[in-house]
Amino acid sequence: MAWDISRRVFLRGAGLAAVGVGFHPSSLLVRAAQAAEAGSRVLVQVFLRGGCDGLSLCVPFGDSEYYDLRGGIAIGRGEVVNLDGHFGLHPALAPLKALYDEGRLALLPAVGNYSLSRSHFDAQDFMESGTPGDKSTGTGWLERSIAKVPGNAVTEGVAFSAQLPRSFLGPEPVLVAQTLSSFDLRARNWRAEAETLLRAMYDARDDALGHVGQETFAAMNVLLRTPAIMAPPAGGAVYPNAAIGSGLRQAAQIIKAGIGTRAIFVNVSGSFDTHANQLAAHTLEFPRLADALVAFARDLGGLLDDVAVMVTTEFGRVAFVNGSAGTDHGSGHCMILMGGRVRGGRVHGSWPGLGRSQLYQERDLAVTTDFRDVFAELARAQLGVDGSSLFPGYTPGPGPGIVA
Amino acid sequence: MPIDIGPRAAVHLLNRIGYGPRPGDVARILGMGLDRYVQSQLDAPADPELDSRLRGLITLDYPISQVLTLYNADQRSVGVILDELYTAKVIRAVHAQNQLQEVLVDFWFNHFNVYIQDGFARYSTAAYEREAIRPHALGKFRDLLGATAAHPAMLFFLDNYLSRATVTVGGRLVRGLNENYGRELMELHTVGVDAGYTQDHVIDAARCFTGWGIDNLNTSGRFAYRPAAHDTGAKSVFGLNLPAGGGQDDGDKLLDYLASHPQTARFIARKLAQRFVSDEPPERVVDRAAAAFQSSGGDVREVVRAILGSAEFWAEAFGAGKPKTPLEFVASALRAADAQVSNGRAVVAYLQNMGMPLYSCVPPTGYSNRGADWINPSSQLYRMNFGLDLAAGAIAGVGADVRGMVRRMGGNSEDPRSVAVTISAEIFGDGLSRSTLDAASRVAPGGPVSVAARVAGLCLASPEMQAR
C-alpha cells in the first residue's frame, strides 16, 4: 500500500483537524467551490458479495422469454410486486414498494461491464477499483472520490466491514469498523496509561503499521467524544438482525451524529451466490435487504434528502436456470438506488431484452449501462466530485439520470 | 561490537514457517542449528504431547456418518462438535511441535476453502480437513487436489453433487449442469484466473465432473459416482481433449492435467511464496519454487524447501515484515505469552471480531493471503485488546502467567525495562524498536495490574507484534 504522508491529516488531541501540506491553496479553493454544492451530502454504497441475481430483484415479468429461461425458479406474474406493467419487485422486496411509490427508490437493471469477468474475486476487484480489466490500479474508486473532497478526517470515509474494502484502498484515512460500540481500549484499571504508551509506540512509526495505529486512536477519539453516535434508531425503525441491518443502522447513526462523514461502504456477504436452490436463498436474503432499506429511510427521516444509497453486486447471473434450481455466474445485474434526490418511482436504463440474440454470449443479461457511469453520477451529486477523472482510462457518459 | 544475527534469523524462521516463537524457542533452535530445525519441520515427526492435549476432544475423529447420526438424534450436538474443531485448531497452532505442518494445513484448507456454516458443510468440514487436507499438507499437490475434488464437503460447497448432464427430453432442453466447481477448480485451485481459459472451458470442466456426488446428505454423507448423471460427450478443457464415452475418469484425467500444468506450478508457487516471503514475492523466488514444483511432480515439501532455501526468504529477516493475519497474530501472541490453551471458544470470538472467524470464509476464494489486507483500524483495536487481555490473564480457556514466564527467562518481573528487554530477546530476536522499548518501560510501579502483565500486554499490542 502506498502511503503519502503529505496528504494524511489526523484528528488529534481535541479532535481538531489540521490542514494537509500537500494542497496548493488555490486548488483547495477550487475544490471547496466544487464541493460547496454537495455540502454535507452522503453517498452510501451497499455491496452484496456473491453476485446477486438482478432478474430476481427486478423481475421482467412482461418479457415472456423470462418464463421460458427461468422455468421453475421464475417468479410468477401473480407473485411479483408490479411496478410498471413490465417490471416487478420480487415478492420478498414488497416493503420497498412504498418507497418506490413515494419517488425515493429506483431500479437500474442491465448495469455492469463485460470486462468484469465471471470470477467473483476479479469482478469485485474491477468494480471496486473502477478499472475493469486492469488489476494494477492501486486505489479504490471511493478512495479517489473522497480524496477530491476537502478535509481528511478519519471519519470522512467509513466502511462497515471486517476488512478495508478495495473501494477505499489508498492513502486517504478510512474508519473501518464492524461495530461502533465499545470502540475502546480494554485495559481495566490502567486505560489511560495503556493509551499513552501505545500511542507513543505507533506515533513513532511512519509506515503502514504506524498509520493504522494512529488512525485507530484518531477514530477512538472521535467516537468516544460523540455520544450521539450511539443514538437508537429514530422513527420506530427496526433493522433486521443481519449484516445489512447492522451496517445500515450504524451508517444512519454516523450520519445523524454529523461528524463529517461523506462516503459509507456497507459490506454484505450473504447467500447471493445462488448456484443452487435460488428461491430459498432469496427468501432468506431479500426480506433482510428490503427491511434494512426501509428502516434506514425511516431512521433518517428528512436527512434522507441528503443521502443516496446504491445497492450493488459484482455481476448478475445467467439468464437461464441451471440444473440445480439455481443460476451460474453471468453479466448484467441490477442496482437499487434510494435517496431524497434519487429520481425514484421508475426503472432506469434501457432494457436489452431476453431473446437468444439479445443475451450476451447467448446466456447472460446484456449490459446497457456501464457501472462507472452510475458511480460517476452519484459521486458528482453526493460528493461534488468531477467524475470525468475518477476512472483512469475511462470518461464516464452523462449517466442514466438517476439523481435529479 | 559485532551484531549476532542468529536470534533475528531464528525469530524470522519461527515467524514464517510457524506461528512465532514461544519463550525459549530461539535458543533451542539456534542450539540444534536452523538447517536441522527446517528439516525436522519438513519431516513432521509424531507429536505425542500434542496428541495428549487433543485427546479430550473426542469428536475430532468422527466420520461424517457419525456426526449425522448424532445430529439426527439431537441437533444441539453439532454445537459441541464445532466447538471441538475450533478448539483443536487453536491448540494445534499454539502447541504443535510441527508448526510448519499446521501452517500448511491452514494454507491448504484456505486454498481449497469450504464455508462451515453452509448446510451439509457443518457436518463434513472436520472430516474434510482431517481426510482431504491434513494427510497431504506436506505431500503431493495432485493428492490434495484429488482428495478435495472427491470430498463430500467440497462436492457440497461448490454444488457439484447437483450437477448432471444437460439432456434433451421430447425436443426440449433440460439443463443439468452446475458450473460452480468447474470454474473454481481452474480459477482458485489450479491454473489461476489469468491463465487464459474461456467460458467454454469452464463448462467442459464442469461436464467432466457430472455424476460426482454424495450418496445421502442426511445419513452417510459419502462420495458416490452416479453414471446416469454423467455427461459422456467429448470435452475440451484448456488444451486437454477428452473423447466421448468417458465416465468418472473424465474428472480424474482433468485433475491429472491441471495438476501438472505449468500455470498451476506457477500459481501455487506464487501463493506459497506469498505466504512465506512477502505480499508481492520477488519473481526469482517464484521461479525457483515453480521449478521445484515441476521437477518434483508437485511435491509440496520440495516447493517449501526451495522457498526456505532462497536468498529472498532470508532477506526478509531484516525487512519491515509481513503483516500478520488475525489467526497468525492471535496464535503468535498466545505462543509469545507462553499460554496454555484448554478451550478455544473465547479465542475464536476474538478472531471473529478481527474479521477471520475460523472455517468461516464465505466465498470459495478463501481469506486473503496478503498481510496488508488485514491491517485496518477495526482489526487493530481488537488486536491491541487481545494482547492486553491475554497478558492480564483475562481470556477464558487460556492460562497465561507472564510474571512466571519473565522470571523463567531470567528477567526481573517487577522492573518494566527488564520485562520489555526479556520479551524483546525471546520473541523478537532483540528486535523491539527503541520507541517501543522506551514506551513499555514507562509503565508506572504499583497499581492493580502487575508490571509484568502491563509491559507484556503493551509488547503484545505493539506495532512490531503486528508483523512477522
Q: What is the pLDDT of residues A136-147, one digit of tens each?
A: 898 999 999 999
Query: Å from A87 to nearest chain B CA?
Result: 26
User: Is A340:A402 a contact under the CB 8 Å cutoff?
Assistant: no
The average pLDDT across A142-163 equals 91
Return d(Cα B113, Cα B109) in angstroms, integer. 5
| Mean pLDDT (chain A, rounded) | 89
pLDDT of residue A40: 87
Task: For residue B435, list chain A residues with Cβ-Cβ distance below 8 A.
Answer: 200-201, 204-205
Q: Which of residues 372-431 of B touch A (CB under 8 A)?
A: 372-381, 384-385, 388-389, 392
Query: Å from B350 to nearest chain A CA?
Result: 12
Cross-chain Cβ contact A50/B177 below 8 Å:
no
Chain B residue with minimum CA distance to A49: B363
Q: How many CB pairs under 8 A join A and B?
A: 174
User: Is A148:A7 a contact under the CB 8 Å cutoff?
Assistant: no
Tens digit of each residue's pLDDT (9 = 90 or more) over A348-373? 999 999 999 999 999 999 999 999 99
**Where is average pLDDT lowest: B104-108, B318-322, B369-373?**
B318-322
- CA angle, B335 as apex, B334 and B340 as ends, to 5°? 70
| Mean pLDDT (chain B, rounded) | 96
Residue A126 has pLDDT above 60, yes or no: yes
Return d(Cα A353, Cα B280) in angstroms, integer. 44
Q: Which of A209, A211, A214, A223 to mutate to test the interface with B (most CBs of B within 10 A)?
A: A209
Supply the pTM of this predicted model: 0.91
Return d(Cα B384, Cα B460) in angstroms, integer. 7
Q: Are strands B240-242 and B235-237 parallel, antiparallel or unpaired?
A: antiparallel
Tens digit of each residue's pLDDT (9 = 90 or more) over B226-273? 999 999 999 999 999 999 999 999 999 999 999 999 999 999 999 999
Return d(Cα A57, Cα A90) in angstroms, integer. 6
> Model confidence at B155, in pLDDT bands (50, 70, 90)?
very high
Cross-chain Cβ contact A162/B378 below 8 Å:
yes
Q: By CB neighbour count within 10 A (0-12 exposed, 13-18 middle, 19+ buried), where does A236 fall?
A: exposed
Chain A residue with minimum CA distance to B325: A163
Q: Cα separations (Å) of B152 from B66, B215, B223, B247? A: 14, 9, 6, 19
Q: Among B159, B362, B435, select the one facing A204 at the smallest CB separation.
A: B435
Return d(Cα B264, Cα B139) in angstroms, integer. 16
pLDDT of residue A24: 39
Q: Are strands A369-370 and A105-112 parallel, antiparallel or unpaired?
A: parallel
> Model confidence at A150, in pLDDT bands (50, 70, 90)?
confident
| C-alpha cell of residue B106 | 491452514
Helices (H), B277-343: 283-295, 300-308, 311-315, 326-336
Q: Which of B280, B279, B281 minimizes the C-alpha distance to B307?
A: B281
Cross-chain Cβ contact B463/A210 below 8 Å:
yes
**Residues above pLDDT 90, as percent of chain A:** 78
Q: Is B64 strand, coil or helix?
A: helix
Residue A5 has pLDDT above 80, yes or no: no
With an 8 Å Cβ cutoff, is B436 touching chain A? yes
Return d(Cα B398, Cα B413) in angstroms, integer. 21
Q: Is A345 strand, coil or helix?
A: coil
Residue B141 has pLDDT above 90, yes or no: yes
The torsion region of residue A235 among left (phi > 0), alpha (psi -120 to 50) and beta comes to left
pLDDT of residue A33: 47
The average pLDDT across A198-223 equals 94
pLDDT of residue B104: 98
**Where is average pLDDT lowest: A15-29, A75-89, A324-338, B425-439?**
A15-29
Q: Which of B95, B90, B97 minimizes the C-alpha distance to B44?
A: B97
Cross-chain Cβ contact B193/A121 below 8 Å:
yes
pLDDT of residue A153: 81
**Residues above pLDDT 90, as percent of chain B:** 94
Q: Among B166, B320, B454, select the one facing A323 at the smallest CB separation.
A: B166
Tens digit of each residue's pLDDT (9 = 90 or more) over B402-457? 999 999 999 999 999 999 999 999 999 999 999 999 999 999 998 899 999 999 99
pLDDT of residue A218: 92
Residue A1 has pLDDT above 90, yes or no: no
Return d(Cα B49, Cα B368) in angstroms, integer. 32
Distance of CA B57 to the CA centre of its chain: 20
Tens digit of each residue's pLDDT (9 = 90 or more) over A257-279? 999 999 999 999 989 999 999 99
Cross-chain Cβ contact B178/A361 below 8 Å:
no
Q: Which of residues 165-184 of B touch A (CB under 8 A)?
A: 166, 174-180, 183
Q: Is A159 strand, coil or helix?
A: strand
Cross-chain Cβ contact B466/A189 below 8 Å:
no
Q: Is B29 strand, coil or helix?
A: helix
Q: Which of A317, A280, A276, A118 minimizes the C-alpha distance to B214?
A: A276
Return d(Cα B42, Cα B17) in angstroms, integer. 10
- CB under 8 Å to B180, separation ≥6 — which residues? A275, A328, B158, B159, B160, B163, B206
> Model confidence at A283, in pLDDT bands (50, 70, 90)?
very high
User: Is A43:A383 a contact under the CB 8 Å cutoff?
Assistant: yes
Residue A37 has pLDDT above 80, yes or no: no
Tens digit of each residue's pLDDT (9 = 90 or more) over A74-89? 999 999 999 999 999 9
> Model confidence at B359, in pLDDT bands (50, 70, 90)?
very high
Cross-chain Cβ contact B363/A194 below 8 Å:
no
The average pLDDT across B374-381 equals 90
pLDDT of residue A167: 97
| C-alpha cell of residue A18 | 489540521
Query: Å from B385 to nearest chain A CA?
Result: 6
Q: Is B455 strand, coil or helix?
A: helix
Query: Å from B295 to nearest chain A CA?
Result: 31
With an 8 Å Cβ cutoff, is B363 touching chain A? yes
Query: Å from B417 to nearest chain A CA?
Result: 13
Q: Among A119, A201, A328, select the one facing B178 at the smallest CB separation.
A: A328
| C-alpha cell of residue B344 | 478455544
Q: Is the dihedral of CA B318, B323, B328, B333 positive or negative?
A: positive
